Structure formats: structure tokens, C-alpha cells
Amino acid sequence: MLKRLINAKELIAIRADKNVVVVDLSSRKGYLIGHVPGARYVSYADIVRSDGLVEGLLPTASSFSVTLSRLGIRPESAIIAYDDVGGTNAARFLWTLESANHLSVALLDGGIAAWKAQEFPLEEVEGSWLPSGYAVRFNESRSANSDYILQRLDDEGVVLLDVRSRAEYEGKDIRSLYGGHIPHAVHFEWTAGLNDDNNLCMRKKHDLLEELSQLGVTPDKEVIVYCQSHRRSAYAYYMLRVLGFAQVKGYPGAWSDWGNRQELPKAMV
């Protein structure tokens, strides 16, 4: 089983292992300019689904099966993902894998920027792989929907963590029919987990745990993370898992679901 978070030097040491599959979720242009040698490209659009105004839903099991099979990923594959946007795309891919019961996954800390900073080799050509015939079955243990959240709004053992910008949380930046946030949700912008001075690598565990604890976000509670579509919050989900939180769920659809439904309660600041 992989460590959840690995650095570029650790990836260099294990990437020749035949069971290790490195997946790049950068922009297509960025991938072709230069990627980790052997990395297999997948577009963010291929790992999410929309339904009307609701974005960021889980893909269908059949479409995700096609994606994993095309990449040559097998049930026994150890998957390391990265991107060029601070980890959100890669973390969303890893959350989706965990939702499909594929648990041998890791995030490359700092993504391609950290790899380049070490001056490790880059590749510009795209390889090809034999389809694996991977058959996906999703479970619900990593997800929360609006009904699940509504039933737990007053549960002291559950924390709602809104990782959008402060303006979105306060209802000043409205990206759905309604602004605001889910009642009782606490705010921790996802970028607060990144170290701007170190290629957007994850900040030190001790500091993150201390800041989250001040918000009431502690490992003994169930934490439900959300943003606008569960892209930014996928990074927060993965960060919490790295920090040792066992009970974490993402809200696919997130505010694009909640904020477009009149009947659901909203809070403003």
C-alpha cells in the first residue's frame, strides 16, 4: 500500500515498479510540454459528470471503467496522480478511485511543479497501453448527498467544511441561483492547505491540524467537505485523509446542487 502523499524523490525511487501507474491530470497542453516519464494522461472532464445545473457528479461506473481500462489500470495497480493546478484535479481522481474501492493511491506532493523544481527528467511523447478491462463498482462510503447532510445538520459529531473562497462562503460571490453556505458549515479555504513558498506542496501536518482544530474540525468527527462542485474540496478531502482523518466524505455536486435548490436552507454572513 502506498503512502497517501509522496514527494518527487520518492516517486523516482518507485516509478519503475511494474504495478505503479503514474497519472497526469494537468491540461493537455501542459502534459505535452513535459510530463513525468511514463505518465498516462487523463482529462478532468473524463472523471466527472454533470446533470443540468449540477456539476462535479461521479461519472457513471461504465464511463469510469472505460477511462481506467484505457489507461491500462488494473485492480492491483498502485496509482500516483498529479496535476499542474495545485492538486485539485489529481485529488478528485484519487477520491473517485477510492469511491470505486481502489485504495492503493497516492498524490504527488506539489505536482509537476515540484517534479520540475528537482530537475528530474521530463517526457513529451505520449505512450500507449493495453486496455485492462477494469470493471468499476462504486460505493457510497466516500460521498454525502443533500439528504444525508440535511439529516445531520444538528449532529455535533458531524462537521461541514466549506473550502470555497471567503466571498463565496459569505454569499458575496454567487455562482448558483442562491448564495451563502450550508447552515453550520465552517470555512477553511482549500488553498490554506498549500505552501506557496514550496511549489504548492501540502503544509506541515502539525500546523494544519492545529488550525483545523480551532474550527472544530478534529479527527474524532465525521467531516463532510464541499465547494462548488467537489473539485477544490476533493483536495481538502485528500488533505484530511493525509492528516489521519478516518471519517471524511465529499459532496459531489456540492453548492451547484445545494445552491440551485430553493427548498434547501442557506446561511449568510
Cell 461519472 sits at which residue? 59
The residues with which 123 forms a beta bridge, in sequence order, are 35
The answer to whether 201 is a known catalytic residue is no
Choosing from 106, 227, 236, 243, the catalytic residue is 227
* Cα 65 from chain centre: 19
Grid coordinates given for 17: 515498479
The beta strands (E) that lie in 26-137 are given as 40-41, 49-51, 54-57, 78-82, 105-108
Judge whether 29 and 85 are in contact, CB under 8 Å: no
Residues noted as catalytic: 227
